[in-house]
Chains A and B, each alone.
Chain A
Amino acid sequence: MKLLLSFSRKGKADPGREPVIARVVKETGVLINVEKANIDSMAGEVLIDVPDRDADLVRRRLEEMGVAVHVMENAITLDEAECVDCGACISVCPQEVFSFDEEWRLRVIAERCVLCGKCIRACPHGALSQQG
């Protein structure tokens, strides 16, 4: 399961520069895969992937440490009315989210998505969007 973690250094309760992910890994023993990180001066966002069975535990510990956790259900959404099954998204995706089925229909494996946004810009038909 993918969790989007938001950090901020504005609030007093926020963990700031604390190594929260490392701490959670150490405490829980759950292997966390960091898939994307954007760190700015006052805030940061990190996308992590954790095994489904451990997601609740990891989420609880992170929230206790002051991290806002958002569960990414459908990272990328395909608007089937706009999609023409061209496949322009297929080769720009670093995660192989997109492929064709036997009928040359576009298949989306959204769980693989790391929210890089390349496909959204590459789609000529504006058929792809990111869950807010």
Chain B
Amino acid sequence: MEKSLDLINARIRDGSARVVTADEMPGIVDELGEEGALAEVDVVTTGTFGAMCSSGAFFNFGHADPPIRMERVWLNDVEAYAGIAAVDAYLGATQEAESKDQVYGGAHVLEELVAGGTVELRATSHGTDCYPRRSITTELLLEDMNQAIMVNPRNSYQRYNAATNATDRTLQTYMGTLLPRCGNVSYSGAGTLSPLANDPEFRVIGSGVSIFLAGAEGMIVGEGTQHSAGGGFGTLMVTGDMKQMRQEFLRAAVMNGYGVTMYVGVGIPIPVLDTGIVRSTAVRDEDILTDIIDYGTPRRDRPSLAKVSYADLRSGSVEIGGETVRTSSLSSYRRARAVATELKDWIERGKMELALPTRRIDPTKRARPMRETAVSPRVREIMNRQVISITEDEEIRVAAKRLLKDETNHLPVLDGNGTLVGIITTYDVSKAVVNDGKLRQVKDIMTRKVIKTTPDEPVDVAARKLEQNNISALPVVDATNRVVGILSAIDLGKLFGGRRRR
């Protein structure tokens, strides 16, 4: 049996359509079977509510008198992109205010407007014959704008990698606070309620389809940026009229140590046309798998420490390497359910009818990494290969002489086999002298927990280690922990001085 979209819309119009939320569907299919569920259910509503950085809105402010061709535009001190027509601008959610006394950004401005608040518009221009004015400052409400059209380039990820941190310091990331030594796991996504998880083949989710966007009746533009449905990471570009939106479903947020983002509520209604759609909407948390990624690796390709399902993540804890680790969600399941429930209500009341895509989204496409024409420099290219070192059994006096003779401030300390066991600095030696000589050997005063780098590490990563640990040199070690060089803050200058070795 198949069901036509016309039949479903006719039922929506006469109020007889059976609409359920996506979390109810697995139970219905268990009870009635696939054919039974197809006969019973007309529409499945989905929902998600989480951090969606790639969001923002186009504004048209109307013309002032005398008129201005705005070249730079700020809303509450947050710069909007004005490289479009005279009084148009695009405000991105993550753009931060120029005055830095508190973390405030585009998302806060968007939420303020939706909440009915006043926003200060400031704009500058060089002045033209047709637009003579050079600056303007005015206060605007959302209703004062001709248009406030939200266009979010990337929303509603199909699923998302969960995050943990294997290093020994706390990380502040866009996935929230990650405690050291895999102390917690942070994840995002609504699992069984997630819109794209209910139609991974993109059969009925595509361009032109009506959706719930932050409380407004919105629409899918098409695939989102970085859409990678072939790997299970599909995304959508969506749009909607901000004037219909509600603060409940559009919230500014600040990820500590990272920056501003925006929580957006997105819901998509799925017409139940055939048993294929019955099957895809019967997806459970258990069926949606994702990797727990170590965000402690500061590289694009980070290692996966475990594969888990959304059921595991939502249970409150998961296992990593035999240990139980607690999980936290960044997205709100409760509010995702509120999105799906409100969308269900709209359809039951005949407020929204369903449409099929005017253009399909490619379910096999994969996003590619950036093509880099200049290879980012590695430690090997700028490290100092003439390493002055010392062994742990030497006397401190010997270390002091060596530091003086070679005009260096750091001595990697080696054991009898030549592997790195510590580091001492001129500061350590001075301290030993001041503390009056009870300590005699290098191993008594050396720092044993050495912050180090490798020849293959990008210089940017090594530079961040220097900065974060407030140190001025890193021993460079090979795979067997033998010192092959030393990288000091001075070596970083080679990148700019043209002395870099190719």
Measured CB to CB, the nearest residue on chain B to A105 is B334
B253 in the interface (beta carbon within 8 A):
yes
Chain A positions 84 through 113: 1 when the CB is less than 8 Å from some CB of chain B, otherwise 0: 111111111000000100011100000000
| Contact A104 B261, CB 8 Å, known A84-B49, A91-B185 | no
A20 vs B185: C-alpha distance in the bound complex, in angstroms? Answer: 40
In the complex the two chains form, is B330's CB within 8 Å of A88's CB?
yes
| Contact A91 B330, CB 8 Å, known A84-B263, A124-B254, A124-B255 | no
| Contact A122 B253, CB 8 Å, known A85-B335, A90-B326, A92-B179 | no
Q: Which residues on B sit within 8 Å (CB–CB) of A89?
A: 328
Measured CB to CB, the nearest residue on chain A to B317 is A91
Q: Which residues on A sit within 8 Å (CB–CB) of B337?
A: 104
Q: Which residues on A sit within 8 Å (CB–CB) of B316?
A: 90, 99
Q: Which of A92, A104, A126 makes the CB contact (< 8 A) with B184?
A: A92
Q: Which residues on B sit within 8 Å (CB–CB) of A103?
A: 334
B295 in the interface (beta carbon within 8 A):
no
A121 in the interface (beta carbon within 8 A):
yes
Chain B positions 309 through 344: 1 when the CB is less than 8 Å from some CB of chain A, otherwise 0: 000000010000000011111111111010000000
Min C-beta distance of A94 to chain B, whole Å:
9
Q: Which residues on B sit within 8 Å (CB–CB) of A105?
A: 334
Instruction: Please tell me the size bucket of the interface on B.
Output: 20 to 34
| Contact A121 B256, CB 8 Å, known A85-B335, A90-B328, A92-B328 | yes
A70 in the interface (beta carbon within 8 A):
no
A36 in the interface (beta carbon within 8 A):
no
Q: Which residues on B sit within 8 Å (CB–CB) of A122?
A: 176-177, 256
Chain B positions 183 through 216: 1 when the CB is less than 8 Å from some CB of chain A, otherwise 0: 1111000000000000000000000000000000
Min C-beta distance of B175 to chain A, whole Å:
9
Measured CB to CB, the nearest residue on chain A to B184 is A91
Q: Dominant SS at the B interface? A: strand
* Count of interface residues, chain A, beta-carbon cutoff 8 Å: 19
In the complex the two chains form, is B326's CB within 8 Å of A86's CB?
no
Q: Which residues on A sit within 8 Å (CB–CB) of B183?
A: 91
Chain B positions 30 through 61: 1 when the CB is less than 8 Å from some CB of chain A, otherwise 0: 00000000000000000001110000000000
B251 in the interface (beta carbon within 8 A):
yes
Chain B positions 147 through 179: 1 when the CB is less than 8 Å from some CB of chain A, otherwise 0: 000000000000000000000000000001101
Measured CB to CB, the nearest residue on chain B to A90 is B328
Q: Which of B251, B254, B256 makes the CB contact (< 8 A) with A84?
A: B251
Q: Which residues on B sit within 8 Å (CB–CB) of A88?
A: 176-177, 186, 328-330
| Contact A125 B333, CB 8 Å, known A89-B328, A90-B326, A91-B328 | no
Q: Which residues on B sit within 8 Å (CB–CB) of A125?
A: 251, 253, 263
Measured CB to CB, the nearest residue on chain B to A120 is B256
A88 vs B316: C-alpha distance in the bound complex, in angstroms? Answer: 12
A118 in the interface (beta carbon within 8 A):
yes
In the complex the two chains form, is A92's CB within 8 Å of B177's CB?
yes
- With a 10 A CB-CB cut-off, give which of A91, A105, A124, A126 has the most chain B CB atoms: A91
Q: Which residues on A sit within 8 Å (CB–CB) of B326?
A: 90-91
Min C-beta distance of B24 to chain A, whole Å:
15
In the complex the two chains form, is B331's CB within 8 Å of A86's CB?
yes
Q: Which of B185, B256, B325, B329 makes the CB contact (< 8 A) with A86?
A: B329
| Contact A87 B329, CB 8 Å, known A92-B177, A124-B254 | yes
Min C-beta distance of B107 to chain A, whole Å:
10
Measured CB to CB, the nearest residue on chain A to B263 is A84
Q: Which of A99, A118, A121, A124 makes the CB contact (< 8 A) with B330?
A: A124
Min C-beta distance of A122 to chain B, whole Å:
4
- Which residues of B are interface residues toward A (Cβ below 8 A)? 49-51, 176-177, 179, 183-186, 251, 253-256, 261, 263, 316, 325-335, 337
10 closest A-B pairs (Cβ-Cβ)? A91-B184, A124-B253, A91-B328, A104-B334, A91-B326, A85-B334, A122-B177, A87-B329, A86-B332, A90-B328
A-B contact pairs, 19 of them (CB 8 A): A84-B332, A85-B335, A86-B332, A87-B329, A88-B330, A89-B328, A90-B326, A91-B328, A104-B332, A104-B333, A104-B334, A105-B334, A122-B256, A124-B51, A124-B253, A124-B263, A125-B251, A125-B253, A125-B263
